[in-house]
Structure 1
């Protein structure tokens, strides 16, 4: 694992997995929310995002956490040697987003952009979760599995699988 893409629905544990992998493997971690958003919560200009994203992809090692624009997501899938899709149930993802909000009232959530509103981000996560079935679906999963011949592909479907994955990767 030298170039790792971690992706999935909001509240699926991407930041937790990414941080653990980056630490265990000694790879630089790039959380897309910190690249996509300005400190005030607004989007960065697309050209600025693309330049930063392309610089990361050209580097020798990385862990990238998140989705970002679809064209950059597809570029990341092509460049990565390891793909980690966290596909927890919607009820679990909604719960994790809610839990992040509640904890975020006290402590900034892992990977959360500086200066961004936890309430506004949570509402955006709920809206995104509602739209997710249009993207994160069986068709996406079958296209993802086509990469198995040339890349390591992990699909994590339960919280226990998520916890086990983190434990095995960090030993």
Structure 2
């Protein structure tokens, strides 16, 4: 199955942004980081209806990679996607990476965020750590329910380790070859 409209989802710290940049580089598909769209400078959120409208227009284009969770918009993206890549890395690794990312980007914005969204040891950061810790029990359940309801006819790829993600980037994106990795 050829991939033209790809959703990349997973826990905070699972490597979605890094993986999506590599996949965009390999495929030439345009990449959209949902965090960069949703958050405005100073960590001001985009109003939900405006965010949904933007995504509704975006998914109508013929090619894209959209990276990020945002459960309230998963159905919009899932409706138009041909491929879902779900990074299911271990909980402790994800939490560690969230801490490491904050520390390495403290007082400045990451490339997958809007300017003016500096990382730091804040209440928002602590909520993110807690979300990452709870993700396998709570967030993953909601994603699975959405996939059960709306992924018929779509390629769903589950990658459970850094090795599987690297293997997928090396071998799984060859034209018309569905990756059967860790699923």
TM-score bracket, shorter-length normalisation: 0.7 to 0.9
Alpha-carbon contact 2:89-2:161 (below 8 Å) kept: yes
Give how far 1:13 is off: 0.5
> Residues 107 and 44 (structure 1 numbering): CA distance in 2 closer, same or farther, change over 3 Å?
closer
Aligned with 1:27: secondary structure? coil
TM-score, normalising length: structure 1 = 0.86
Q: Quick one: distance in 2 between partners of 1:130 and 1:52?
A: 30
Instruction: State the secondary structure of the residue aligned to 2:171.
Output: helix
Structure richer in helix, relative to its length: 1
Residue 140 of structure 2, aligned match among 136, 140, 162 = 136
* Contact 1:40 1:116 (C-alpha < 8 Å) held by counterparts: yes
User: Deviation digits for residues 28-80 of structure 1, max 9, x if unmatched?
Assistant: 11100011111211111112211211111111111000012x34111211210
Structure 1 unaligned regions, length at least 5:
none
Q: CA RMSD in A?
A: 2.4
Output aligned runs, 1:25-36, within 5 Å. 25-36=27-38
- Partner of 2:129: helix, strand, or coil? helix
Return the structure number with greater relative CO, CA threshold 8 A, min gap 6: 1
Contact 1:31 1:65 in 2 (8 A): yes
Distance 2:118 2:108 in 1: 12
C-alpha distance in 2 between matches for 1:155 and 1:170: 14
Mean Cα deviation higher: 128-137 or 99-108? 99-108
Q: Following the alignment from structure 1 to structure 2, what is the Cα–Cα distance between the partners of residues 169 and 11?
A: 22
TM-score by length of 2: 0.81
Alpha-carbon offset, residue 18 of structure 1: 1.0
